[in-house]
Each structure stands twice: as C-alpha cells, then as structure tokens.
C-alpha cells in the first residue's frame, strides 16, 4: 500500500471512529467487563489447579470467544447487522463514492488494529493485575502472553472481515454461530486430551518471554491470513451484488 492509499484508508478509518464516539464508551465498558469476568474466574479457579475438564473448557472458551472481540468497536453498524444488513448497506454506500475497494478493506483492517491497540491494553492490563502479577510476570512476559492471544484474535478477525464484505447479515450471523461451535469443539478437544490452553500460554510466555515461538507463530499466521483475506475479500467484493 503506497502513501496515498495509506492516507485515504486512515482518513476513512478516522472518519468512521469519530462518527461513533459514544460507542467507544460501550466498547471500553465491554472490554473491562470481559476482562473482569475472565480474571476473576482464573483467580477463583487457581491457575495451577485448573485440572478439571469443565474448568478447562470454560476457561479456554472465555479466551477463545472474547479475545477476537478486542478487534471490534461496538458501533451501530456492528450491533444491527442482522436487522438492517448494515454491512451490505455500508458497502453499497461506499460503492457510490469514488473509493477503491482496496481502500475500503484497508480501512477496516486499520480499524481492527486501532481496536486491538486500545482494547488489548485495557484487557491485558486488568488480566495482569488480577492474575499474572501473582505469577511474578515481567513486562516482556506479559507482552508475550498478550501477543500470543492477540495473534489468535487477528486470525479470527481475518475471517470476520471477509464475511462482513462478502455475505449478507443473516449469513454473517450463521457463520458466527458456526465459529462459536468450532471454538467450543476446540476447547472440548483440548480438555479431552488434557491440554489447558490458558495455562500453556502462561507457562510458554513465562519461560520464553518475547522469544516465545508460539507468540511469533500466532502473529505471523495472523498477518499472513489477513493478507490472504484482503486479496480474497477484494476479489469477491468487486463482483458482489449489493443492490
């Protein structure tokens, strides 16, 4: 993306965020709420005592479900995508303006990055004070733990961004339900195999810090999948009927 495209995409991102300033409040409140629930559950269960499969399933599901939402701002568009098919309406409106498809998609990716930057600081700071401080985490270890899960969140958002632009509201909702079921099955499989995803990510980041292989695998995978999603989304967008 050249400098002109970057400026246009950033202008479109800023315009969208300024238009929904009130929704920043709801987004931050939701992030605080989910972090408090997650942190209190982990604290109450005990990190080293999370051996029961039911505890493993619940703890893993909390992170697997909530972390991707750190890449979202709760706007009127995102809250009414089923009733009003708001994503399709947005795409139809953008097509009537002299805005290239690449700029529209990059703007959405930039919005995701801003959301992760704001929400992740809030979420993982609270997780640190509720959970990780008791484990004597250093800053680099906290950062590694955060980036492992942010990488996962970027992977999930690559799918959400693709769905936003290529399917209608009802199909987006169905795909969201399917993704939730898939997440539950992942957590269930991990529990059956006696894996604990939360405990693994904590121990992995504590042992390796910013050299954690898992962190780099998740981040690189997220970047590559976002690039692939961008190309596929652009291709599908150009031929999609939004009338």
> According to the model, what pLDDT value does residue 56 have?
66
Question: Hey, what are 203's tokens?
Answer: 């121990």
User: Looking at the predicted structure, is the pLDDT value of residue 8 above 60?
Assistant: yes
As a whole number of angstroms, the distance between CA 225 and CA 71 comes to 15
- Cα–Cα distance between 22 and 148 in angstroms, integer? 30
21-55 residue pLDDT tens: 677 888 888 899 888 888 877 764 445 554 455 56
pLDDT tens readout for residues 137-151: 999 999 999 999 999
pLDDT of residue 60: 82
Q: Which of 108, 101, 99 is nearest to 78 (CA)?
A: 108
The Cα 204–Cα 11 span in angstroms is 39
For the chain, what are the domain ranges? 3-239
Q: What does pTM read for this prediction?
A: 0.89
Question: Which DSSP string corresponds to 1-52?
Answer: --HHHHHHHHHHHHHHHHHTHHHHHHHHHHHHHHHHHHHHHHHHH-GGGTTS
Token pair of 38, please?
Answer: 């997650």
């Amino acid at each position: 993306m050249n400098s002109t495209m970057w400026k246009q995409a950033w202008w479109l991102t800023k315009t969208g965020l300024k238009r929904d300033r009130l929704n920043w409040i709801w987004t931050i409140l939701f992030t605080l709420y989910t972090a408090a629930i997650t942190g209190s559950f982990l604290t109450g269960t005990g990190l080293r005592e999370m051996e029961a499969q039911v505890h493993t399933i619940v703890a893993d599901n909390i992170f697997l479900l909530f972390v991707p939402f750190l890449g979202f701002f709760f706007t009127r568009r995102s809250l009414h995508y089923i009733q009003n098919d708001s994503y399709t309406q947005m795409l139809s409106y953008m097509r009537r303006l002299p805005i290239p498809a690449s700029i529209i998609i990059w703007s959405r990716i930039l919005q995701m990055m801003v959301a992760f930057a704001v929400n992740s600081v809030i979420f993982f700071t609270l997780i640190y004070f509720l959970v990780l401080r008791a484990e004597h985490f250093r800053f680099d270890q906290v950062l590694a733990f955060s980036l492992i899960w942010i990488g996962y969140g970027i992977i999930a958002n690559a799918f959400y961004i693709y769905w936003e632009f290529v399917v209608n509201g009802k199909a987006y909702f169905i795909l969201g339900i399917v993704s939730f079921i898939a997440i539950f099955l992942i957590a269930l499989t991990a529990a059956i195999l006696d894996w604990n995803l939360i405990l693994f990510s904590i121990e992995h980041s504590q042992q390796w810090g910013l050299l954690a292989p898992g962190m780099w695998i998740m981040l690189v995978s997220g970047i590559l999948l976002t690039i692939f999603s961008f190309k596929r989304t652009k291709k599908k967008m150009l031929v999609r009927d939004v009338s």
